Structure 1
Amino acid sequence: MPAAKAGIIPPSQIPRSALPDPITSGDPLAEPLSARIPVAPLRPSACPGLLRIVPALDGGICRIKLPGGVITAGQAFAVADAAEHSAGGVIEATNRGNVQIRGIGADHEGLITTLLEAGLGPKNPASDDVRNLMLSPTAGVDPEQLFDVRPLAAQLLNTLETHPRFHELSPKFAVSLDGAEGVAMLEHPHDLWLSALNVEDETLLGFGLAGCPATGSPLAAVSLDAGHDLVVAVLELFLEHARPDQTRMRHLLADMPADQFLAQLSERLPHSVRHDQKVTTWRRSPIRLNAHIGFYPQRHPDFTSVGAVVPLGRLNPSMLRSAATLAVELGDGTVAMTPWQSLMLRNVRTENGSRAVDGLRKAGLLCDADQALSQVIACTGSAACGKGLADTKADALQLAACLQREGVSQAVHLSGCDRSCAAAHVAPITLLAVSAGRYDLYFRHAEQPGFGELRGRDLTIEAVGALLTADSRSNTDD
């Protein structure tokens, strides 16, 4: 291992006892490594996992699913080491609150071993694909939450990993658990979403199928103590009725109406299910825009969370090590990855908040929502993806520089093809590549399908910058 850089704590000096994981329970390192290495080939899939490295133009991709989006400082050092020693040094923050390593060379076994030894693998190799449970990065510490979702999340993750039938789920089948936090991704569609709500002075868990709380109301609701049984029953019912080609909840609902699904679900649950008007007309309160960037208050007034955007979703090992070091020195020893391709340090004493921001900025992260680059996301693009029609990362940097000069900061998504890999939901503004350096421009519109309303065809980045600048000024000037 290379000598430690100034200001960086070597992983050997980080006490594991000081790095609690608020989601998982037990010690994954207590298991022998051989118990966590697959003994049989995993099922074919185009989705990368920790145990399945998928090829791309720039090398292999390994996706590491983090429980609740949380990674300990020691684990972050292990990811940085793996990216440095077995790959090209590119670490990506994903839009599901995970991380992935790109550019992996021939040493797949060495990289996987490093990650497993850090406790980043599944309890059961067959469960690696199905650990798709999204939480708020401020779960447990958020002043707006109605309940702490972390104990339920730990129970659900354990069930997903240990229930063999659930290993049949698609790697894309996903669940979200929303405790009404002020920092929450509400727009990503999920196969099953759960949101805490207050009805008649009681906190319930509303749930919906094949959608999201930003645009939908609950199908029904159960008590908080019924949350685990509810998720298990939904997944079992899905697997019983879905054909092999129906890998997502929306596919099943095309044949089986939601009301019919709910009726069968109610019959098998030992808990009462509420689907009266007070539940089915409830709507989730929107969150504050860019709440994941900069300072965010916690329930305890002496502590704060500090968020920083990963530029275009890409970290290098030094950036990740710096964030992990700050987490140990100023926070709780963990880094929370977010669905906005950013990260948060939590449980930072309020008087240390400015030190945390300064440290994150020095590491190359973006802590100000007014920075144009903090609002821009881009897929891998043609530089590393065979389907990409343009070098979206390079074009995104050019566009961000143009917008910054004009004092404009807008949420923009650059996609190299129509698969929209960088954004799980439709962004306010989408640039869809049509050829190298040229894009169709879309503005999200509630009544328009896909990316929204087409506002320009075959535009250069300079032309897009001019249009977005003009649009921004026309929307803000009297």
Structure 2
Amino acid sequence: MTEPLSARPSATPIRPSACPGLLRIVPALDGGICRIKLPGGVLSADQALAVADAAERFAGGVIEATNRGNLQIRGIGTNHDGLIASLLDAGLGPSNPASDDVRNLMLSPTAGLDPQQLLDVRPLAGQILHSLEHHPRFHELSPKFALSLDGGEGLAMLEHPHDLWLSAVQVDGRTLLGFGLAGCSATDSPVAAVVPETAHALVVAVLETFLDLARPDQARMRDLLKEMPVTRFIEHVAARLPQQLVVDQKVTDWRRAPIRPFAHIGTYSQRTAGVVAVGAGVPLGRLRPSMFRDAARLATAFGDSQLCMTPWQSLMLRNVPAENSAPVLDGLGQAGLLVDAAQSLSKIVACTGSAACAKGLADTKADGLRLAALLQENGISRAVHLSGCTRSCAAAHVMPVTLLAGSPGRYDLYFRHADMSGFGDLHARDLTIEAVGALLTADSRSNTHD
């Protein structure tokens, strides 16, 4: 029987926050925003249909794929309780309402299924999420406080910075979990490692230590570590653990192997022979309800009746028999999703922009479509990020090319540079989209690196 709204968690914020959640809808120019946090990015086909229905019934029909493998519904009208109720009925809410903000744990979309993995991290992920939901003190964490768990998969987002990241490491024939603070495994080495059996205790110890030592104004790990040496923080963590940390040069010198670029689009081999994962990009992070419904039907007909949202603003259907990969790709393409990494639009990221965000200085979504068309005409495929302001909401890490809006239709052009902070090297100012297209085309033809 449907639970009365009076018995449900309220849409009132658990604590003040500018971040949307499922239980807290925040306003924007185009209406309210609701963020649905998905365990490991996974939801069932039935849940996907429920999201599509809710987006049409209670909002403007816009579903967004986020850069941390979650979903957002935009343009929500006045019936917030109705929207929330429909999503809770579909099982998309937290088991503990107070934990809605803090379930920020990123996994590979092929965790447990990947042929390159050193460790199936799904059981550990379940333990961590349970603690985040049911350990009352962890509800004090900022909604932006985030964790990453990497089992060594060949498909994993390595560049997003996290407050705590863990990555599977092989040392002298043993599989350990190396970990780092306020960084990412793409550029950082672990500060230490633990055996997998101690990893859950490590996460709990890190979070409790952070909450013990951080002032209220230090919302993120990086804020605390500006004033406290990492070695001192780790001493506090080690004192809480049942086993010693592994601090070995083979661990602290270790670097994560890179992944194949854009492997999230197309067919990806799984650990089990004869089955594959099939991925498709979401154009500029925006899903129409019809797209989501078509993907859900394909997942039911050909896969395991689940969809997995990825940190690349794409989705994957997993456990698809290899002989069915072609019709699945074709079906996703017909639905309007991007199934070929050579498509220029598959490599362009754009924030909400001025059409729906008060801080946006340009209509980045419309400009992104124009830029993609220009590059496609010239046979150019470049990873480009369009940001309507300096906050860089659409990209959690610096991309090879960034366009920073200065006014409607005008952008400053940056190229990522390892030795420069921010977006990188400022190459040109106040460019039109046509000028950007011409410059990127010329640059691509004059060199072979991105």
Classify the TM-score, shorter chain: over 0.9
- Is the counterpart of residue 396 in structure 1 residue 336 in structure 2? no
Does the CA-based 8 Å contact 1:36-1:123 persist in structure 2?
A: no
Distance 1:59 1:417 in 2: 20
Separation of aligned partners in 1, 2:443 and 2:211: 47
Q: Distance in 1 between matches of 2:357 and 2:12?
A: 29
- The match for 1:287 is 259
Name whichever of 36-45 and 222-231 sits farther off: 36-45
Query: In 1, are the aligned partners of 2:12 and 2:23 still within 8 Å (CA)?
Result: no
Query: After superposition, what is the alpha-carbon deviation per residue over 1:295-330, rounded to whole angstroms, capped at 9, x for unaligned?
Result: 100001110000000000000111001101111110
CA distance in 1 between partners of 2:281 and 2:2 (Å): 34
Distance in structure 2 (CA, Å) of the matches to 1:111 and 1:236: 34
| Preserved CA contact (<8 Å) 1:33 1:117 | no
Q: Counterparts of 2:280 and 2:11 in 1: how far apart (Å)?
A: 39
Are the aligned partners of 1:36 and 1:125 in contact in 2 as well (CA < 8 Å)?
no
Match of 2:392 in 1: 420
2:87 is paired with a residue whose SS is helix
- Match of residue 276 from structure 1: 248
TM-score under structure 1 length normalisation: 0.92
Equivalence for 1:9: none
Counterpart of 1:227 in 2: which secondary structure?
helix
The alpha carbon displacement at 1:50 in A equals 0.2
**Equivalent pair of 1:38/1:126 in contact (CA under 8 Å):** no
Q: Closer, same or farther in 2 for the Cα pair 1:41/1:54, shift >3 Å? A: closer
Output the CA distance in 2 between the equivalents of 1:35 and 1:174: 30
Q: What SS does the corresponding residue of 1:473 show, helix, strand or coil? A: helix
- The offset of 1:41, in angstroms, is 4.5
Are the counterparts in 2 of residues 36 and 122 from structure 1 also a CA contact under 8 Å? no
The Cα of 1:140 is off from its aligned counterpart by 0.9
* CA distance in structure 2 between the aligned counterparts of 1:168 and 1:381, rounded to whole angstroms: 31
1:128 aligns with 2:80: no
Q: Tell me the SS of whatever aligns to 1:271.
A: coil
- State the partner residue of 2:277: 305
SS of match in other structure, 1:45: coil
Tell me the equivalent position of 1:155: 127
Give matches, 1:26-425, under 5 Å: 37-38=9-10, 41-425=13-397
Indicate the percent of aligned positions where both proteins have the same amino acid.
Answer: 72
Query: Does the aligned pair in 2 maintain the 1:310–1:366 contact within 8 Å?
Result: yes
**CA offset at residue 248 of structure 1?**
0.2
- Residue 256 of structure 1 deviates from its aligned partner by 1.2
RMSD value over aligned CA atoms?
A: 1.4
Deviation at 1:264, TM superposition (A): 1.4
Task: State the 1:287 CA deviation.
Answer: 0.2
Measure how far apart 1:267 and its partner are. Answer: 1.5
The answer on whether the counterparts of 2:12 and 2:24 sit within 8 Å (CA) in structure 1 is no
Cα distance, 1:31 vs. partner?
9.4
Structure 2 counterpart of 1:459, one-letter code:
L
Contact 2:385 2:403 (8 Å CA) reproduced: yes
**CA apart distance, 1:124:** 1.2
Instruction: Work out the CA distance in 2 between the residues paired with 1:324 and 1:262.
Output: 44
Partners of 2:113 and 2:270 within 8 A in 1? yes
Cα deviation, residue 32, structure 1: 9.1
What SS does structure 1 have at the residue aligned with 2:73? strand
| Cα distance, 1:457–1:39 mapped onto 2, change above 3 Å | closer
| Residues 1:272 and 1:105: Cα distance change in structure 2 (over 3 Å) | same
For the residue of structure 2 that corresponds to 1:120, the secondary structure is: coil
For the 8 Å contact 2:402–2:423, the answer to whether it is kept is: yes
Count of residue pairs the alignment pairs up = 449
Question: CA shift at 1:38, angstroms?
Answer: 3.6
**Using the alignment, how far apart are the partners of 1:280 and 1:70 within structure 2?**
32
Amino acid at match of 2:355: A
Report how far residue 35 of structure 1 moved.
Answer: 6.2
Change (3 A) 1:404 1:128: same
Instruction: Report SS of the residue matched to 1:268.
Output: coil
2 CA distance for matches of 1:86 and 1:348? 33
Once superposed, which parts of structure 1, at least 4 consecutive aligned residues long, lie more than 4 Å away?
Answer: 29-36
Mapped partners of 2:165, 2:82: distance in 1:
37
- 1:83 to 1:160, Cα distance in 2 relative to 1, 3 A: same
Distance 1:86 1:231 in 2: 38
Unmatched runs of 5 consecutive residues or more in structure 2: none
Q: Are 1:431 and 2:400 matched, yes or no? A: no
Residue segments in structure 1 that go unaligned for 5+ positions in a row: 1-28
Separation in structure 1 between the aligned mates of residue 361 and residue 5 of structure 2, nearest angstrom: 42
Alignment of 1:440 onto 2:440: no
Contact preservation (8 Å) 1:33, 1:116: no
2-structure distance, mates of 1:271, 1:386: 50
- Structure 2: distance between partners of 1:287 and 1:361: 24
Shift, 1:36, TM fit:
5.0
Q: 1:125 Cα deviation (Å)? A: 1.1
